[in-house]
Amino acid sequence: MAGDWDEAEQAGGKASVITTSSGSLGLMAAIALVMGNMIGSGVFLLPASLAPFGWNGVIGWLTTISGALVLAFVLSRLTHARPEAGSPAGFVTDAFGKTAGFFISWIYLVSLWTSVVTIAVAAVSYLSSMVPFLGRGEHVPALAAIALLWLVTLINLRSMRAAGNFQIVTLALKIIPLLVVIVLAVHILASGKAQLPSFDPSEVRSGAINGAATLTLWALLGFESASVAAARVRNPKVNVARATLWGTALTGALYLMVCSAIALLLPSDLASHSAAPFATFVARFWDGNAAMLIAVFAVISCIGALNGWTLLEAEMVRDMASRRLLPHWLAETDARGTARRALLVSAVVASCFAALNASRTMQALFEYLLLLSTSATLWLYLACALAALRLGVARIPALLGALYALWTLWGAGIGASGLSFVLMALGLPIWLWLKHNEID
């Protein structure tokens, strides 16, 4: 690690802990991108879903965090070994060829488009508790989500640096309620106001662990963010690895403590039936008025995640275009390093996803897009692990990562896996058209 630090200093000084130019992300911005993309809407809803699992939920968290760290390590080693590949999809292309690289890139790009809409819908859902109009009617939630999506797109259009700085600010704000819950949980346990339920090994079941781990996966999607944006990270051989591993580890630790505290310290029936478990926890053990602020921080959390995923979707389009997997004109950037065309095309496509499903209720729209995002992203993780095996990079972690990805695909169910194949197949006409026209 000392050698890496020296390399960082020679490359640009102190590993550049802030955004160093309009077109690049420093270490702090890269960590904020990873953590900000991971800390979104999921953490505010998961405690209710995990409450029925008891200690199985804690084990599920540990399993998911371990799997994510293994895959994060594999991605960091691939970035270090093959920096010219440019992104996780580039690793797949190097290992298995351009066709495989296109289809993995395509399905991951679809997952990014659906992710930004999912997070925008979640933000509107939290906003509707303060502005009830946003939750009424058939089309209002989707239209509000589209408006929010374009607002964040405008921030990204200013420059990569503006998007990176916005990510740092929103990350600092969204961590506040997580730290409040941790401090409150420590106080509760120390004062004896509540006790953790006793751990009974006989109640630990593999099926329950698998179910809990599948639920927690959505909250940890995004650890690949720095690798996807490696071309935009300063000194990527050093900073991408640090951002990926530190961002994943810190987020995983926060999630484990916060979600486990709420799920275990609240009565199971209360936690599992709460529409806002964070607010319920704070109101029960501290102050009902303070609980009202949770909705505000939840909106901030969603907007910060939306900013990061918007940056990522545009970078994915730009990267695919630069590798001739999409029309090359999408790879162009302006003087500030902003991929304007990729940003605008991504915003239009994401808006179409929201508009096509505008007739769904807010909850149905959220769950539908959540399923699309999670199932599609799993294939990128599996493909990267297999690429590392093929390229001879970190083979033992890569094998473990591939097994974990297969396990989570199984846990996601045949419905999600089947939907993933359909999404992947939708890219075939585009691939055939690109091959036929040999666009450059």
pLDDT digits (tens, 9 = 90+) for 389-415: 999 999 999 999 999 988 887 776 676
Average pLDDT of the residues in 155-168? 80
Per-residue pLDDT band for 9 (boundaries 50, 70, 90) equals very low
Contact predicate 245/144, CB 8 Å: no
In a domain, 117, yes or no: no
Q: Which of 55-69, 225-239, 291-305 has the highest mean pLDDT?
A: 55-69
pLDDT at site 13 = 35
Q: Is residue 405 part of a domain?
A: yes
Compute the residue count for the chain.
Answer: 440
Distance in angstroms (rounded) separating the CA atoms of residues 291 and 276: 10
Range of weakest confidence among 31-45, 58-72, 375-389: 31-45
What pLDDT does 359 receive?
A: 59
Cα–Cα distances (Å) from 155 to 6, 310, 349, in that order, read 34, 10, 18
Are 408 and 214 contacting, i.e. CB atoms less than 8 angstroms apart? yes
What's the average model confidence in pLDDT over 266-284? 81
Say if residues 301 and 174 touch (Cβ distance below 8 Å).
yes
Report residue 157 as tokens.
Answer: 């259009």
pLDDT score at 70:
94
Q: Is residue 148 part of a domain?
A: no
Phi, psi at 143, each rounded to 5°:
-65, -40
Residue 141 lies in a domain: no
Among 366, 357, 180, which residue's Cα sits nearest to residue 285? Answer: 180
Instruction: Name the domain count of the chain.
Output: 1
- Which residues are bridge partners to 24 per DSSP? 21
Instruction: For residue 430, give the CATH number of its domain.
Output: 1.20.1740.10
pLDDT in tens, 168-220: 888 888 888 888 889 999 999 998 888 888 888 888 888 788 778 877 877 78
Measured CA to CA, the distance from residue 221 to residue 42 in angstroms comes to: 10
Q: Quote the tokens at residue 213.
A: 């781990």
DSSP E strands, 6-126: none
Which of 240-254, 316-330, 370-384, 386-400 comes out lowest in average pLDDT?
370-384
* Digit-coded pLDDT (tens) for 312-331: 888 889 888 888 888 888 88
Looking at the chain, the whole-number percentage of residues with pLDDT higher than 70 is 87
Task: Give pLDDT, residue 385.
Answer: 95
- pLDDT tens-digit readout, 24-57: 678 888 888 888 888 876 677 778 778 888 898 8
φ, ψ for residue 310, nearest 5 deg: -65, -45
Residue 369 belongs to a domain: no
- Confidence check: pLDDT of 97 > 50: yes
pLDDT value at residue 66? 93
Does 282 fall in a domain? yes
215-224, 240-249, 392-401, 413-422: which has the minimum mean pLDDT? 413-422
Residue 275: is its pLDDT beyond 70?
Answer: no
How far is the C-alpha of 236 from the C-alpha of 246, rounded, in Å?
A: 14
Tokens representing 95? Answer: 């290992």
Domain that holds residue 80: 24-109+159-330+375-437
Q: In this predicted structure, what is the pLDDT of residue 42? A: 67
Kindly state the tokens that stand for 256. Answer: 């484990």
Q: Which residue has the tokens 């909106």?
A: 299
Per-residue confidence (pLDDT) for residue 59, from 0 to 100: 92
For the cut 60, the answer to whether the pLDDT of residue 437 exceeds it is yes
Residue 343 in any domain: the answer is no
Q: Is the pLDDT of residue 384 over 90?
A: yes
pLDDT given at position 392: 94
DSSP three-state, residue 24:
strand
Q: Which of 27-31, 119-123, 308-312, 340-344 has the lowest mean pLDDT?
A: 119-123
- Do residues 308 and 206 make contact, with C-beta atoms less than 8 angstroms apart? no
Can you give the pLDDT at residue 103? 92
Give the highest mean pLDDT range of 23-37, 78-92, 330-344, 381-395: 381-395
Q: Is residue 167 one of the residues assigned to a domain?
A: yes
Q: Supply 404's token pair.
A: 């974990």
pTM of the model: 0.78
pLDDT of the residue at 344: 93
